[in-house]
Chain A
């Protein structure tokens, strides 16, 4: 059956939902091979006018062409939806991604992520006189300081006032909201509710 390989790529992407599966180089290559084969067969069938006196070859060509288009659609959708996830990650993880996630990118995706990072940073800088980080203060702040608990052994963190705190697992701190918000979104700290 045609297009089974390309469907496999799409299904894999669908199953993994928001996460990033490793780029399936081998699968993509196999789809390309299938497409090349389909194209060659079609060219041969189109040029071979002697073998087709009653015009039935056109139906075979139409079917193979549909398979070509379908493969193309699957491949493009595969690449595009992966990039959408990469874009999402910039907003959720911040500018630096964990190593195990980045390991699943292929080279153009890494490049794209870096370029996107630059674009976003440039845009943040261009807002207002001093720039504005759009990922900060997503929820309306009610106090300047919040109580947080560390979820991991993060290590030393230098605060804005020059003080250095050691973030150990289960240690609690009172920190300025602006400083700890990115760490909370990245899952290093959690806010303690009153």
Chain B
């Protein structure tokens, strides 16, 4: 239930950001198969312990040069593969938790989520966390709690930065991918509101992509000279 709340919350914020760019509205895997952020989030590594022998795939373990994967081998594999290993009947491997969702890190996040550098630790913290919970790990309910609680507290800060600072705050480098989108959307809305209040919003502006294209041409010319 919590999980779904977070998904729709996340989707809503992205919608806010992208409504002008005519992009697909929801970035989570369900229902968007084509979502780039979701593909990147499911690429995050999780530790797997093999429970059956797998022949001819020994190269998946960079630490060994054997032909097969033996029972009990520990390998860090991308999430998309781990979820298949876990959901097969019988399961091929047991999937553990990545560092950021282990109890020690959960305690840090419970103590003060605002100071944690999610960009460095888990750039797709929320999306990855939600996917991980779908594997029905024993500690899933706690992970869900941590996700929701940290989002609540961090969101308050993000909102504050977006509304009360003209320049990009240095702390925004610590945000995870979804939070960054929310922060940028907040700033954009703030500045357009300011523009509307002062100028009345009647100035016709060049389109966003046109501006970007011009800037790129300028830098290319600088590089050539």
Contacts and interface: CB of A to CB of B under 8 A. Distances in A.
A associates with B: yes
Interface of A: 1-3, 7, 10-11, 13-14, 17-19, 56-57, 59-60, 62-67, 70, 73-74, 76-77, 80-81, 84, 87-89, 91-93, 98, 100-101, 138-142, 146, 177, 180-181, 184-187, 190-191, 193
A139 B192 CA distance: 13
A140 B199 CA distance: 13
Interface string B185-225: 00000000000000111111111111111101100000000
Contacts of B84: 62-63, 65-66
B91 to A, nearest CB: 10
A18 B209 contact: yes
B128 to A, nearest CB: 15
Contacts of B33: 73, 76-77
B34 A187 contact: no
Contacts of A142: 200, 202
Given A59-B52, A59-B88, A66-B81, A186 B209 contact: no
Contacts of A140: 202
Given A139-B202, A139-B204, A56 B36 contact: no
A9 to B, nearest CB: 10
The majority secondary structure among interface residues of chain A is helix
Contact of A98 (B57, B78, B203, B213): B213
A59 B139 CA distance: 26
18 contacts: A2-B81, A10-B36, A14-B36, A19-B209, A59-B54, A60-B55, A62-B85, A63-B81, A65-B84, A66-B80, A73-B33, A74-B39, A77-B33, A88-B23, A93-B210, A146-B204, A191-B204, A193-B199
Given A187-B206, A193-B199, 6 more contacts: A2-B60, A18-B209, A59-B54, A60-B54, A62-B92, A93-B213
A148 to B, nearest CB: 9
Contacts of B213: 19, 93, 98, 101, 187
Interface residues of B, number: 45
B23 A185 contact: no
Nearest to B22: A88
A146 B205 CA distance: 13
B36 A13 contact: yes
Nearest to A185: B207
